[in-house]
Amino acid sequence: MEKCQYHHVVGRFAPSPTGALHIGSLVAAVGSYLMAKQGGGRWLLRLDDLDAQRQVPGMADDIMRTLESFGLLWDGEVAFQSRHLEEYRRIFAVLQQMGAIYPCACSRREIARSASAPHLEDECMPYPGTCRGGMKANAAIRSWRVRVPEEEICFADMRKGRFCQTLPAVSGDFVLRRGDGEFAYQLAVVVDDHLAGVNQVVRGDDLLASTPRQIYLQRLLGFPQPDYCHLPLVAGPDGSKLSKRDHLVSHQLGNVAGRERALLLAVLRFLGQNPPPELARCSCSTILEWGIAHVNPRQLPAQGGVLVV
């Protein structure tokens, strides 16, 4: 499969069909849509459906119908990760030929015993490099890992500013493929974005800590690096992390009908964009048009919080 070529902004929204969208997902969808469309660009929809065991029947369709109910219309055909397996295999073979990856026999429990503590940024346990020099005789392959360098990986986030990370301290040599053959998110997302020509990634702050891993893979493979913007996260009423089962936004559940305009305006306010009160009488498409014309990454709040409708 060849990579698409565009000369303008190409953004994307990439939910997993493991459940209905929630209010935090809507924030990511709206933020990515506005910032892609502001530059006259394209906004793509990809369903990250690699984890077949966790998928819920009907959720892919529910996600699409929910987005449509808010006027969030994507460009082109919907992409599915599960249709990119051949390309993942090809890229994996390229990395093998480069000597950039190696098999690992370590279990998660063994890594946890070796690591001082899980890394709190994204619950990642730094891998200590046990199998870097080779696995023990007769050991079974549990995963394939990519060798990471002893250097800082830095990038400029449109909201957070300069962000740097030393991969050995945060993740160590991270997994690209499991022993059962399933490809890891870090490899899949890098290949998916490259295939679609995505050059702007706008998503939640919870994925900030994993971005240097993706940038390292992009550099290793010679892929262009997208611009990144990590949006503030919606918190629960007590300030805790919002559960994916809370505050669902679903066409199938019927809990958005008649509330679309109010929710869109609440998302714009949460993103610091201050829509005028008279927009409350307008259609979703008009609200989004205002957002496209006025969205300003410099107004994004430094911290997340509760989204008030």
CATH number at residue 175: 3.90.800.10
Q: Residues 38, 73: one domain?
A: yes
Q: Residues 37, 117: one domain?
A: no
Query: Are the C-beta atoms of residues 81 and 192 closer than 8 Å to each other?
Result: yes
Q: Residues 72, 111: one domain?
A: no
What pLDDT score was predicted for residue 146? 98
Q: Residues 202, 63: one domain?
A: yes
What pLDDT score was predicted for residue 115? 57
Our count of domains for the chain comes to 2
| DSSP letter, residue 301 | -
Q: Which residues of 245-283 are buried (b: 16+ CB within 10 A; e: fewer)?
A: eebbbbbeeeebeeebbebbbbbbebbbbebeeebeebe
Q: Length of the chain in residues, anyone?
A: 309
Per-residue pLDDT tens for 49-77?
A: 988 778 888 999 999 999 999 999 999 99
* 158 within a domain of the structure (yes/no): yes
Q: Residues 100, 77: one domain?
A: no
Q: How many CA atoms lie within 13 A of 113 on its CB side?
A: 5
Q: Residues 116, 180: one domain?
A: yes
* 4 within a domain of the structure (yes/no): no
Query: Are the C-beta atoms of residues 301 and 272 closer than 8 Å to each other?
Result: yes
Provide the edge-to-edge strand list for the sheet that holds 79-80.
10-13, 42-47, 79-80
Q: Residues 48, 140: one domain?
A: no
What pLDDT score was predicted for residue 117? 43
302 phi and psi angles, rounded to 5 deg: -70, -30
Angstrom CA distances, 84 to 1, 43, 48, 49, 143, stand at 9, 19, 11, 11, 20
Q: Residues 102, 45: one domain?
A: no
* 281 within a domain of the structure (yes/no): yes
The residue among 67, 87, 92, 88 whose CA lies nearest residue 13 is: 67
* 126 within a domain of the structure (yes/no): yes
Sign of the CA dihedral 21, 27, 31, 33? Answer: positive
What pLDDT score was predicted for residue 239? 76
Q: How many CA atoms lie within 13 A of 16 on its CB side?
A: 12
* 309 within a domain of the structure (yes/no): no
CA–CA dist 203, 230 (Å, integer): 5
**Model confidence pTM above 0.95:** no
Q: Residues 203, 295: one domain?
A: yes
Per-residue pLDDT tens for 233-254?
A: 999 887 777 766 668 899 888 8
What pLDDT score was predicted for residue 245? 66
* 58 within a domain of the structure (yes/no): yes
* 1 within a domain of the structure (yes/no): no
Tokens of 298: 């410099």
* 56 within a domain of the structure (yes/no): yes
Residue 2 neighbours by CB under 8 Å, 6+ apart: none
23 phi and psi angles, rounded to 5 deg: -60, -30
CA–CA dist 182, 293 (Å, integer): 42
Please give the residue range of the domain that contains residue 261.
10-81+198-208+220-299
**CATH value at residue 225:** 3.40.50.620
Q: Residues 90, 180: one domain?
A: yes
DSSP string, 217-244: HHHHHTPPPPEEEEEPPBB-TTSSBPPT
Q: Is 123 left (phi over 0), alpha (psi -120 to 50) or beta?
A: left
Q: Residues 92, 76: one domain?
A: no
Q: Residues 90, 179: one domain?
A: yes
Q: Which residues of the chain fall below pLDDT 70? A: 1-7, 114-123, 243-246
CA–CA dist 35, 9 (Å, integer): 9
